[in-house]
């Protein structure tokens, strides 16, 4: 019988051991925010050009914001996008 050190451990523990948990959480959060913004843009029948104009940014910057793989988005950009669609961003600290 093989002795597997990962049997019984959670995915979070495995990712933490491999120093990946923070990155995975960051990507997951960005994907959810990008998806939520895209849904609101569709519901409100906004084009990407209209959305970018209302945010005071370029369409290329909006595409980066909506790209779920791009996690290097500023809070200011997220906030502006949320306000354009009548929403707000909620961020909180939780126990590690």
Kindly report the pTM of this predicted structure.
0.74
In the predicted model, what is the mean pLDDT of residues 42-65? 96
Q: How far apart are CA 93 and CA 91, in angstroms?
A: 7
pLDDT band for position 81 (cuts 50, 70, 90): very high
Domains, the chain, ordered by start: 20-84 (1.10.260)
pLDDT the model gives residue 8: 56
Q: Is the pLDDT of residue 27 over 80?
A: yes
Query: For 29-38, how does the pLDDT look when each residue is reduced to its tens digit (9 = 90+)?
Result: 889 999 999 9
Q: What is the DSSP letter of 89?
A: -
| Tokens standing for residue 69 | 């793989």
Q: Is the pLDDT of residue 23 over 60?
A: yes
């Amino acid at each position: 019988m093989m002795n597997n050190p990962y049997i019984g451990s959670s995915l979070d523990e495995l990712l933490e051991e491999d120093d990946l948990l923070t990155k995975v959480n960051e990507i997951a959060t960005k994907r959810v925010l990008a998806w939520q913004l895209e849904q609101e843009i569709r519901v409100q029948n906004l084009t990407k050009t209209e959305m970018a104009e209302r945010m005071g940014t370029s369409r290329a910057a909006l595409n980066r914001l909506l790209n779920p793989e791009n996690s290097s988005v500023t809070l200011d950009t997220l906030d502006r996008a949320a306000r354009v669609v009548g929403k707000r961003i909620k961020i909180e600290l939780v126990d590690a």
